[in-house]
A and B are shown apart, each in its own frame.
Chain A
Amino acid sequence: MTTILATDFWTSIMPNVVANKDVFIQSTWETIYMTLVSGIIAGILGIIIGIALVVTAPGGILANRTTYWILDKLVNIFRSIPFIILLAVIAPFTRLLVGTSIGTTAALVPLTIGTAPFYARQVQNALVDVDRGIIEAAEAVGASPMQIIFRVYLREALPDLIRTSVVTVISLIGLTAMAGAIGGGGLGNTAISIGYDRFENDITIMAMIIILAIVFIIQILGDLWARKTDHR
């Protein structure tokens, strides 16, 4: 036990990681920061757009052909742009918004724009699965559209929303690594600009292990939560 925890053990198998300990701690926080902030903003946007898609769809509680058509097409277009290209294309916009196109804060803009449409579709799919009959029963007792959205749609779809949110956060972590690789900071940046570029393989592997650990923790907690809320 003592040998495993001993510094010289780690120095022997991952010399560069130990030497760059502070870099790892910082880049882990950067990854968490990027995931959290862009996740929250994209989450809010995605939920709003997802709800709008469901209620304005033909036969929805606020059916509106034009709004639905526009939202549907926008989501499709943004979902079709490969993230790496999106990063480059919106760089000027990012600079306008946050003053720079490099660094973790700058990375939030493409991360949010890259994630929101994806999440909006997931939200839409979760909400569409709520039985039309349940919505109708709510209308029949005099519920307003807002009450139906908040008290029926979001409530009934909660387990599915948790599951899709987990999927979205995990794919968002993947995107943060990509954003990092082109100067956004975080574990992706560390893996590429130190590990890969300097042939310090242990750094790349450690970055991967930390990302996997974060993903597993989110997956497990999300599954538990979803299962706890699911009464179907």
Chain B
Amino acid sequence: MAANAPIIDLKGIDVTFKEADRTVRAVKNVDLEVAKGDIYGIVGYSGAGKSTLVRVINQLQRQTSGKVTVSGQNMGALKGKALRQARTKIGMIFQHFNLMNERTIGDNVMFPLLLGSKLSRHDKQAKVDELLDLVGLSEKKNDYPAQLSGGQKQRVAIARALANDPEILISDEATSALDPKTTSSILDLLKNLNEKLGLTVVLITHEMQAVKSICNKVAVMQSGEIVERGDLLTIFSKPTQQLTKEFIETSSQIDAALANVVAQPSIQHLQANERLVVLSYAGASTDDPLIAQLYEQFKVTPNILFGNVEILQNTPVGNLGLVLSGEGDAVDKALAYVKEQGVTVRQISVAEYQAELARKAAEADTNDEGEA
């Protein structure tokens, strides 16, 4: 394997399920490259094909066509013992933990080591202790899964997944059954393992918050296809697809704030020289005193309505809702300047935006009736 070749390389992956009455093409011609050390997020709504796609990586699901290369090995060509050997290098954790109920925590973590590991009995025990220590559950070694909380169970599952020192960890909705606090502690653990062990992580989720907190890359899936992908900052600051924007909105709540704003009378009756805008920025551009410049250079007065800033991968990413007012074409000039600084400007016509909201609400209503 070339030094900088991706550790996971999916090429033209198609997965079709044939059933008596129908066929489902769950994954459609997907290419995906994950570099060593990535924490690669895959987001999408239920049924998008996320699980099917990642199960192809360790061949729990065979692809209908396409090529799967993991650590330089052509996975599709592996069978029997060779495939099982390759699987030991790909850990996996699940939404419902999937621990064995009749084995203690220690024995659950021991399980992968019972299958053909060459370690001595003593070394296996030491390995189990080390793993339980890593996930912070040493004192639970002799308990059974039923005695643990969800977050603790997931930690055990992580320890089990790491027993054979895998290079890759696949997490399929591993935090979806957990509360927000536990979720973030599990995500922190994954991030920690990524940094400490150089573990490559593929993180499936429908929560953008999870992606935001630990991923460096993200792919958005819809109906079996990856509709958008890229590094986290680009996706968050310059999403191009509607679905991506929707996912980002669920975590930033900008549209919710905007809807609130346009409902206010003072905004509904903006003067001719006033403009409602949302500025989105990522990284360096936020270091300049941009807002101050608006007034100093263009005599444009910014009235801040709402805003948020988040730190993604040590880079601030923010959204700011403003009403700008100035003489003549000052506002236009100011906005042109702002764009030059690498800030995305979204100008909002209050009337159009309200019409849009009304249309969406009507759509949602008919959907609800359709389902009822």
Contacts and interface: CB of A to CB of B under 8 A. Distances in A.
Interface in A140-179: 140-144, 147, 151-152, 155-156, 158-159
A138 interface: yes
B102 A231 contact: yes
Residue from the set A139, A142, A151 with the largest chain B CB neighbour count within 10 Å: A142
Contacts of A89: none
A229 to B, nearest CB: 7
Contacts of A131: 96, 98
A148 B329 CA distance: 74
Given A231-B146, A232-B101, A139 B88 contact: no
Given A139-B87, A231-B144, A133 B163 contact: no
A232 B146 contact: yes
Nearest to B114: A151
Contacts of B100: 134, 152, 155-156
Contacts of B112: 141-142
A156 B99 CA distance: 10
A159 B103 CA distance: 12
B115 interface: yes
A156 B115 CA distance: 17
B232 interface: no
A interface, size bucket: 20 to 34
B102 A156 contact: yes
Contacts of B60: 136, 139-140
A159 B84 contact: no
A226 to B, nearest CB: 12
B45 interface: no
A137 interface: yes
A159 B102 contact: yes
Interface string A208-232: 0000000000000000000001111
A134 B98 contact: yes
Q: Is the interface of A mostly helix, strand, loop or mixed?
A: helix
Interface in A92-115: none
Contacts of A139: 60, 87
Contacts of B92: 137, 140-141
Nearest to B84: A142
Interface string B68-109: 000000000000010011011011101010111111000000
A156 B98 contact: no
B295 interface: no
Contact of B58 (A140, A147, A151, A230): A140
A152 B84 CA distance: 16
B111 interface: yes
A144 B84 contact: yes
Nearest to A141: B112
Interface string A180-223: 00000000000000000000000000000000000000000000
B85 A137 contact: no
B161 interface: yes
Given A141-B164, A142-B164, A144-B84, A158 B102 contact: yes
A141 B91 CA distance: 7
B37 to A, nearest CB: 22
A45 B277 CA distance: 76
B145 to A, nearest CB: 8
Contacts of A144: 81, 84, 115
Residue from the set A133, A152, A230, A231 with the largest chain B CB neighbour count within 10 Å: A231
11 contacts: A134-B99, A139-B87, A141-B87, A142-B88, A142-B116, A147-B115, A151-B115, A152-B100, A155-B100, A155-B102, A232-B102
Closest 5 CB pairs of A and B: A137-B98, A133-B98, A141-B112, A231-B144, A142-B84
Interface of B: 58, 60, 81, 84-85, 87-88, 90-92, 94, 96, 98-103, 111-112, 114-116, 144-146, 157, 160-161, 163-164
Interface of A: 131, 133-134, 136-144, 147, 151-152, 155-156, 158-159, 229-232
